[in-house]
A and B are shown apart, each in its own frame.
Chain A
Amino acid sequence: MDRIIVCVKPVPDPKAWERLRLDPVTKTLIREGIPSVINPLDKHALEAALTIKDAQAAEVVIMSMAPPASQPVLREALALGGDRAVLLSDKVFAGSDTLATSRILAAGIRRLGSFDLICCGNFTLDGSTAQVPSQLAELLGIPNIMHVSRMELGEGKRLMVTQKIEQGYVRLEAEPPLLLSFTKEANKPRFSSFLEILAAEKRELAIWTNAELNLAEGSIGLKGSPTQMADLLVRQKGRQGLRLEGTPEEMAHQLADKIHQLGLI
């Protein structure tokens, strides 16, 4: 492989989630003082790319759409082994839903030039929609496979991919160009090594704005987002304390309903 792109999203550190507060007026999250980390599943995506790089010498490019303050998170990705990083950042990108975000990432990727593989995390901790991987692939006109629980290099440029579905797996084979989104089953992300941290200091972190991407205003940001947020309600953090009533069998049945609603059965 020649080039693998890893999409990385900086998200609020899950260890600090308890401290996140919602601004009641703007209905946005107050992120001050909450450190950002690489979205955990993106680390599995990066690990997959680095595993290929270890075996075959490919260029691993980290790409992210995020505010400029996210540079340390991209540096972290470089310190894990990425060769270069591109941060797509512009005020006009703000407010993008998943489709608008995918347009921006697609434009960034097209500007890079050719690629063989794009690796993403299956979903992010904050948005959790899991929509960007398929949408990005669609806009780039390449196939994608979600829920990747295993990836192996096959003959030539072939990839043997296992996809996790309900109560089982699907084994697939595919060739580049391809987009894969990874689950945490896929691998164990490596730690940064100190030598890699030092080497990464010399690696390029470029910031591209819309001046470089030239996306029409109507296709990005709030204006370019088909979905809009109409309202945001903060749910009471306290436990609901719903007391079930009825005979033991009736209560067991109601309980089974609740478990079903969680999607666990």
Chain B
Amino acid sequence: MEKPQIWVFMEQRRGVLHEVGLELLGKARELAEASGGRVAAVLLGANVAVLTDRVIASGADLVLVAEHPALEPYRLLPYTAVLAQACREYQPSILLFGATAMGMELAPRLAARLHTGLSAHCIDLQLDGEGHLLQMVPGWGGGVVATIKCPVHRPQMATVMPGVMKKQETSQRYGEVIHLTIPEDLDVSGPRVLEVYREEPQAKPLEKAEVVVAGGVGIGGKEGWQLLEELAGLLGGAVGATRPPVDEGWALEEQMIGASGKTVRPRLYIGVGISGMSHHLVGMDGSEMVVAVNSDPKAPIFEVADIAVVGDYREIIPPLAAEVRKRLKGGDAP
């Protein structure tokens, strides 16, 4: 069985590592331990050597660093060239990317350059008895899970969504750092970056929101309603309601979800203090994930929930909002 060299692309922008790279190192570590392989991280940029300690602490046995002014900010063609050269030189067995904006642009281009296979948005990775990477990919809105293999071509490439894998952080790890030589004739062609800027996500109308936080009669009052608005704001989502909050004036008519209101199909629906009458359910049962928070364990909404949280929303939503806030900050901190 081949001893896999498992590589992870460490995405960074402006010297800040994307958490997904560290998460993938955690998974790579797990795969390496099971197969006796080594984990290498690949880090490209301008002044990125300072990040190697954290990368090693997160599970890399080896960090391959490529530093060059042309590699900051990220540009597709120079990055593809450097990574392709590194892969040809070191011949890794597996190469993992985060399924981020950068990863989704870079990984496929590199796979095509290397004439190898790539699977997208894996929800799990395993090694089979022969050292092949088994890539679990969801399809049809989660209705099916395919297991993809890349039996012949190398490296076996996969992208994974942030948050799917778990970071491992140990203080005592030893790792090697190797600086890759950048070719004189590095391909720096292609689109020129004029500006990179942050922007707060725009509030989306209810029907287009990726996240919907909906409240029902169980909210009890306008003050409670603010907790929902806060949570929705943090998640970049919209606030929905059943009929009673609209009647009480906590929410607007156009926020009403149900047979006589709006139909929503967000990626995440969080129903708080909603009992789950059928005329509300038909307005949201197409949601990808349904979370229900209600103090009544027998509330009908739990029958259509993926995640049931039985409890007082006033004790659950505030700590949830705090956790979300923490993770949003953490995603950008070194």
- Whether B182 sits at the interface, judged by CB under 8 Å, is no
Contacts of B134 in A (CB 8 A): 230
Q: Which among B112, B163, B289 has the greatest number of chain A C-beta atoms within 10 A?
A: B112
Give how many A residues have a beta carbon under 8 Å from the other chain's beta carbons: 72
Taking the closest CB of chain B, its distance from the CB of A72, in whole angstroms, is 23
Residues A259 and B191 in contact, CB atoms below 8 Å apart:
no
Residues A173 and B192 in contact, CB atoms below 8 Å apart:
yes
Residues B235 and A239 in contact, CB atoms below 8 Å apart:
no
Contacts of A147 in B (CB 8 A): 101, 104-105
Give how many B residues have a beta carbon under 8 Å from the other chain's beta carbons: 90
Residues B306 and A262 in contact, CB atoms below 8 Å apart:
no
- List A residues 215-233 near B (Cβ within 8 Å): 225-233
- Whether A64 sits at the interface, judged by CB under 8 Å, is no
Main secondary structure of the interface of B (DSSP, over half): mixed
Residue of chain B at shortest CB distance from A237: B143
Binds B, one of A41-49, A192-200, A243-251: A243-251
Contacts of B141 in A (CB 8 A): 17
- List A residues 115-150 near B (Cβ within 8 Å): 126, 128-135, 137-139, 143-147
- Whether B109 sits at the interface, judged by CB under 8 Å, is yes
Q: How far is the CA of A233 from the CA of B101 in the complex (A)?
A: 28
Residues A227 and B235 in contact, CB atoms below 8 Å apart:
no
Q: Which among A126, A164, A235 has the greatest number of chain B C-beta atoms within 10 A?
A: A235
- Whether B108 sits at the interface, judged by CB under 8 Å, is yes
Taking the closest CB of chain B, its distance from the CB of A228, in whole angstroms, is 5
* A265 CB contact (under 8 Å) in B76, B305, B318, B327: B327
Contacts of A233 in B (CB 8 A): 144-147
Q: How far is the CA of A259 from the CA of B310 in the complex (A)?
A: 17
Contacts of A138 in B (CB 8 A): 80, 108-109, 112-113
Taking the closest CB of chain B, its distance from the CB of A232, in whole angstroms, is 5
Q: How far is the CA of A182 from the CA of B157 in the complex (A)?
A: 24
Contacts of B311 in A (CB 8 A): 248, 251
Q: How far is the CA of A108 from the CA of B117 in the complex (A)?
A: 22
* A248 CB contact (under 8 Å) in B198, B267, B312: B312
Q: Could you give, for residues 85-111 of chain A, a 1 whenever the CB lies within 8 Å of some chain B CB and a 0 otherwise?
A: 000000000000111001000000000
In the complex, 5 of the A-B residue pairs with CB atoms within 8 angstroms, ordered by the A residue number, are: A131-B118, A137-B109, A163-B101, A256-B327, A264-B235
CB within 8 Å of A: which residues of B? 13, 73, 76-77, 80, 99-102, 104-109, 111-113, 115-121, 134, 139-153, 161-164, 189-199, 201, 210-211, 235-236, 267-268, 288-291, 302-312, 315-320, 322-324, 327-328, 331
Query: Could you list 16 further interchain pairs (A-B, Cβ under 8 angstroms) beyond the known A128-B120, A167-B198, A227-B119?
Result: A29-B140, A130-B108, A138-B113, A146-B104, A168-B199, A178-B191, A228-B151, A233-B146, A235-B143, A242-B308, A243-B310, A251-B311, A252-B317, A252-B320, A262-B267, A262-B289
